[in-house]
Structure 1
């Protein structure tokens, strides 16, 4: 019998729990550890932040679902992982022993790296459901007394899609209220160009997103380093393609959302040979830590080097499709270890993204995520908005029922058609 512990109950962690229970032997114990009693569908947070969704619409209570799948659950949260003795120190002082550990915590949000950034400072966030609800409250006050908006991401950020989504969703909500003409909007990003996305672009993402932002009267500043945020002003230094300072901007705002950079969570950050200097878990091609072979990692907490140097630092996003491939590979490799075999399954690390713009949207597919690619495709239209709504419903149903069917693979096939994908 083996004790298999999964740390984190987000998109990757909950999917991992279902997949691992299916892959493990009958006698093995699978336990999910989280600091929350609910799963929250993070891609819906931009909708929550303008009250197009409520918390209950995008949340799943974990205990009943996990009980049905015979998966243990502990919502105490982890204080520290001790890989040298195969234990997790929980937040209440108890310890949990494991034979295999899968780290799926997601990131720590590095608001502290920019003065005045984040919900405890002068900007809102859509990174967590609590943050999105706080943003919705501030949105209520804003639409009653509108003014300039500054939206985007700061240096070191790696997940740019939600920033574009939220900018366009705010735009759509303001137009519905017929007050868009009272709201100048500026998009600030460390990307070298609009649509870079931390991936060197996908298909014609640059052209499509630039065109969309022009159509919706959104100005932008690229190669931007956000130096601080005061109450009502974002201070930005714009750089050229060589990284040299071009000009400084002092952008007034009445409402601002800037995505932060990510770091590894405190439970694993700073552990020698387990994590890198940013606290992300180091893995080999089998999702396994090279030093601690019984520790695996999936999702945003995984260390991935930027695919290219940019004038202002940008990270590599870990998309849902990519995370699902990590989940499948990890489950197969741990089962191989349980059977006294060497791991041999590698994650595909492909990317698929649906960016909703309120009444239309843009879809991106990159196979693999890091160039050069076998498939480099993008498209736009009202169908993307409808597809994201449908996918939200399908994914939440999957989490509520414990399905192990790959959700993003199904979506990809629907988007491209099996024949085109195979070709």
Structure 2
């Protein structure tokens, strides 16, 4: 019997646990190690931050649902991964031995890389449900005395979708409250142009998102490095395409949400041979570590190079569809290894994004993620908002039931009229 430990109880970790259990059978032990006992559907965090959802609406207690599939759970959290000794050191001092480790931790939020950034300083975050709930409390106070809002992304950010979503969701919410005329809004991004999204653009995403921002009276500053945040100002340096400084900006705000850069989590950062300099886990084409063959990894915590070099650093996003394909590959390959075969499943790493805009939405498909592509697809419509609401309900039900269906592969691509492409 092999002891399989899945580190992380988020989108990747929970999906990995269910798919691995289905793939390897009941004769092997599967345990999930999380931090706390709740799973959060993080794509709904922007809705929490404007009060359209409560945290409890998008969270489930994981232990009981995992137990139905004979999957163990430990909520102590990880202090350190020790791949040489095949041990996971937990935050309470215990050590958990493993035969195979699947790292799906998500990222560390590197607020420390920009002075004044983060919920403990002068900006808000929607990267965790707890942060989104804190942002909602601040937004409630803001509504009593509205003023300028800044939404943006710090240098090195690899996940731009939530920032675009939140800017437009705020716009929709303020219009509903008849307060939009009192709230100047500015979007600040390291992307070389609006709609780049760390993907080099997807179809006419530049024109599409510029049009949406323009229609909503949201000003933007692109190719910009946010250098600091105070209680009332976001400072940013804007560059031209050659890297020359165009302008130093000091944008006033009464409420700011700025996506932070990501690094690897503390449990893996600095572990020799396991991660790259930013702390992201190294993997081969089978999602397997090249030096530690019993370590696997999926999701935001894996090391993927940027799609292209940009003047202000941007990272490559890891979307839900990409994570789904990574998890499926790990389950297949881990089952093969346990049966004495070589791994042969390679994830697709395609990019699909459903971005809610409050009363409408935008869908982007990039197959493969890095251009040139076989499929480049971008559309805007109210149906995207409806689709994302439905997706939230379906995914939470999936986590409760242990359903291992590939949601993107089976439903979303089909709904978009796109066949699977390897």
Alignment TM class, shorter chain as reference:
over 0.9
State whether structure 2 residue 218 is matched by structure 1 residue 256.
no
Listed as ranges, the matches of 1:68-147 within 5 Å are: 68-147=68-147
- What's the counterpart of residue 49 of structure 1? 49
- What's the counterpart of residue 12 of structure 1? 12
Q: 1 CA distance for matches of 2:377 and 2:66?
A: 37
- What's the counterpart of residue 156 of structure 1? 156
- Is this contact kept in 2: 1:142–1:254, CA < 8 A? yes
- Is this contact kept in 1: 2:367–2:421, CA < 8 A? no
TM-score when normalising by structure 2: 0.99
- SS of 1:309's partner is coil
- Structure 1 residue 244: deviation in Å? 1.4
Q: 2 CA distance for matches of 1:406 and 1:149?
A: 38
- Equivalenced residue count is 422
- SS of 1:31's partner is strand
Q: 2 CA distance for matches of 1:40 and 1:301?
A: 17
- Structure 1 residue 36: deviation in Å? 1.9
- Structure 1 residue 422: deviation in Å? 7.4
- What's the counterpart of residue 380 of structure 1? 380
Q: 2 CA distance for matches of 1:269 and 1:63?
A: 27
- Structure 1 residue 421: deviation in Å? 5.7
Q: 2 CA distance for matches of 1:373 and 1:57?
A: 37
- Structure 1 residue 391: deviation in Å? 0.7
- Structure 1 residue 373: deviation in Å? 1.1
- What's the counterpart of residue 324 of structure 2? 324
- Structure 1 residue 411: deviation in Å? 3.4
- Is this contact kept in 2: 1:281–1:303, CA < 8 A? yes
Consecutive unaligned residues of structure 1, counting only runs of 5 or more, are: none
- What's the counterpart of residue 360 of structure 2? 360
Q: 1 CA distance for matches of 2:245 and 2:72?
A: 53
Q: 1 CA distance for matches of 2:371 and 2:10?
A: 27
Q: 2 CA distance for matches of 1:355 and 1:128?
A: 17
- SS of 2:196's partner is coil
- Is this contact kept in 1: 2:159–2:317, CA < 8 A? yes
- Is this contact kept in 2: 1:125–1:259, CA < 8 A? yes
- SS of 1:318's partner is coil
Does the C-alpha gap of structure 1 residues 119 and 223 become closer, same or farther in structure 2, counting only changes over 3 Å? same
- What's the counterpart of residue 237 of structure 1? 237
- Is this contact kept in 1: 2:7–2:102, CA < 8 A? yes
- What's the counterpart of residue 290 of structure 2? 290
Q: 2 CA distance for matches of 1:421 and 1:65?
A: 30
Q: 2 CA distance for matches of 1:64 and 1:174?
A: 39
TM-score when normalising by structure 1: 0.98
Listed as ranges, the matches of 1:150-229 within 5 Å are: 150-229=150-229
| Deviation string, structure 1 residues 58-93 (Cα, Å, up to 9, x no partner) | 011101101101001000000000000000000000
Q: 2 CA distance for matches of 1:400 and 1:422?
A: 29
- Is this contact kept in 1: 2:168–2:358, CA < 8 A? yes
- Structure 1 residue 26: deviation in Å? 2.4
Does the C-alpha gap of structure 1 residues 399 and 174 become closer, same or farther in structure 2, counting only changes over 3 Å? same
State whether structure 2 residue 313 is matched by structure 1 residue 302.
no
| Of 367-376 and 180-189, the range deviating more from structure 2 | 367-376
Q: 1 CA distance for matches of 2:420 and 2:76?
A: 43
Does the C-alpha gap of structure 1 residues 422 and 89 become closer, same or farther in structure 2, counting only changes over 3 Å? closer
- Is this contact kept in 1: 2:19–2:327, CA < 8 A? yes
- SS of 2:4's partner is strand
Q: 2 CA distance for matches of 1:17 and 1:385?
A: 29
- Is this contact kept in 2: 1:391–1:411, CA < 8 A? no
- Is this contact kept in 2: 1:186–1:219, CA < 8 A? yes
- What's the counterpart of residue 401 of structure 1? 401
- What's the counterpart of residue 266 of structure 2? 266
RMSD: 1.1
| Deviation string, structure 1 residues 193-238 (Cα, Å, up to 9, x no partner) | 0000000011111111000000000000011101111110011000
Q: 2 CA distance for matches of 1:352 and 1:264?
A: 23
Q: 1 CA distance for matches of 2:397 and 2:94?
A: 33
- Structure 1 residue 56: deviation in Å? 1.3
Q: 2 CA distance for matches of 1:208 and 1:401?
A: 38
Q: 2 CA distance for matches of 1:309 and 1:104?
A: 26
- Structure 1 residue 417: deviation in Å? 2.3
- Is this contact kept in 1: 2:409–2:420, CA < 8 A? no
Q: 2 CA distance for matches of 1:224 and 1:142?
A: 26
- Structure 1 residue 351: deviation in Å? 1.0
